[in-house]
Structure 1
Amino acid sequence: MTTGSLGDMCWHNGHLVKAAEVRIDPTDRGFTLGDGLFETLLWTGREIRFFENHMARLGHGASQLGLTIPFSITELENGLLALAQTSGLMRAALRLMVTRGVGPRGLKLPDTPLPNVLATIATVPTEFPAIGVRLVDIYRASGAPSARFKTLSYVDNIVALSLAQSMGADDGLMRGPDGSVACGTSANVLIQQNGKWYTPPLEDGALPGIVRGRLIRAGLVTESRIHVADLEMCQAACLTNSLVGVRPIHSLNGRVLKAELGLYTGLIAALT
Structure 2
Amino acid sequence: MSVWLNGDWRESAGAIDAADRGFLLGDGAFETIYVSHGLCAFWPEHAARLRCGLATLRIPAPPALDAVPAIIAELSRREGLAERSAAARVTVSRGSGPRGLFPPQTASPTMLVSLSACEAPRGPARLVASERRRFSAAVASRFKAIGGYIDNMLALDAARRAGADDAILLNERGAVACATSANIFVISADGALVTPRIEDGAMPGVVRGLVLAAAPAVGLVAAEKEISLDAVAGGFVFLTNSLIGLRAARLKDAPPPSKGEESFRALRSCYQRRLDESLTRKGPA
The answer to whether the superposition gives a TM-score over 0.5 is yes
Deviation at 1:239, TM superposition (A): 0.8
Letter matched to residue 16 of structure 1: W
Q: What are the Cα deviations for residues 84-142 of structure 1, in whole angstroms up to 9, with x where unaligned?
A: 23323121000110011111111101132211111111111155322201111111111
- Residue 254 of structure 2 corresponds to residue 255 of structure 1: yes
Hey, what does 2:95 align to over in structure 1?
A: 101
> What is aligned with 1:219?
215
Q: 2:181 aligns with which of 179, 186, 200?
A: 186
CA displacement, residues 119-176 of structure 1 (integer Å, 9 cap, x when unaligned): 1111111553222011111111112111111101210110111121222211001002
The alignment's C-alpha RMSD in Å is 1.9
Q: State whether residues 5 and 15 of structure 2, in contact with CA within 8 Å, keep that contact through their aligned partners in structure 1.
A: no
Matches within 5 A, 1:139-150: 139-150=133-144
Q: Which residue of 2 aligns with 1:164?
A: 159
2:229 counterpart of 1:228: yes
Q: Equivalents in 2 of 1:173, 1:14: separation in Å?
A: 39
CA change 1:137–1:241 in 2 (3 A) is: same
Structure 2 residue identity aligned to 1:122: S
1:243 aligns with 2:238: no
Q: Secondary structure at the match of 1:142?
A: coil
Matched residue SS, 2:44: helix
Of 15, 36, 49, the match for 1:23: 15
Task: Give 1:60's aligned residue.
Answer: 52
Q: What count of residue pairs does the alignment treat as equivalent?
A: 262
Structure 2 distance, partners of 1:227, 1:126, is 28
Cα distance in 2 for residues equivalent to 1:157 and 1:68: 27
Does 1:207 pair with 2:200? Answer: no
Structure-2 change in CA distance of 1:158 and 1:124 (3 Å): same
Taking the TM superposition and a 5 Å limit, the aligned residue runs for 1:39-188 are 39-45=31-37, 47-89=39-81, 90-126=84-120, 128-153=122-147, 154-188=149-183
Distance 1:73 1:29 in 2: 19
Corresponding residue SS for 1:218: helix
The amino acid of 2:232's aligned partner reads L
Q: What's the TM-score once normalised by structure 1's chain length?
A: 0.90
Q: Give the conservation status (yes or no) of the 8 Å contact 2:187–2:193.
A: yes
Does the aligned pair in 1 maintain the 2:156–2:180 contact within 8 Å? yes
Displacement of 1:30 = 0.6
1:128·1:244 contact (CA, 8 Å) conserved in 2?
no
**Helix, strand or coil for the counterpart of 2:146?**
coil
Q: Which piece of structure 1 moves more, 119-128 or 36-45?
A: 119-128
Amino acid at match of 2:173: D
Per the TM alignment, residue 261 of structure 1 is displaced from its structure 2 partner at its CA by 6.2
CA distance in 2, matches of 1:74, 1:106: 31
Percent identical: 35
CA deviation profile, 1:199-218 (whole Å, cap 9, x unmatched) = 10000000111100111122
Rounded Cα–Cα distance in structure 2 between residues aligned with 1:134 and 1:196: 23
Provide structure 2 residue ranges, at least 5 long, that are not aligned to the other structure: 217-221, 274-285
- Residue identity matched to 2:255: V
Instruction: Show CA shifts across 1:183-241 (max 9, x none).
Output: 0000001111022221100000001111001111223542111012212321x101100
Question: Aligned to 2:40, what secondary structure does the other structure show?
Answer: coil
Change (3 A) 1:155 1:126: closer
2:227 is aligned with what amino acid? Answer: I
Equivalent residue of 1:64, what SS? helix
The answer for the alignment partner of 2:25 in structure 1 is 33
Match of 1:10 in 2: 3
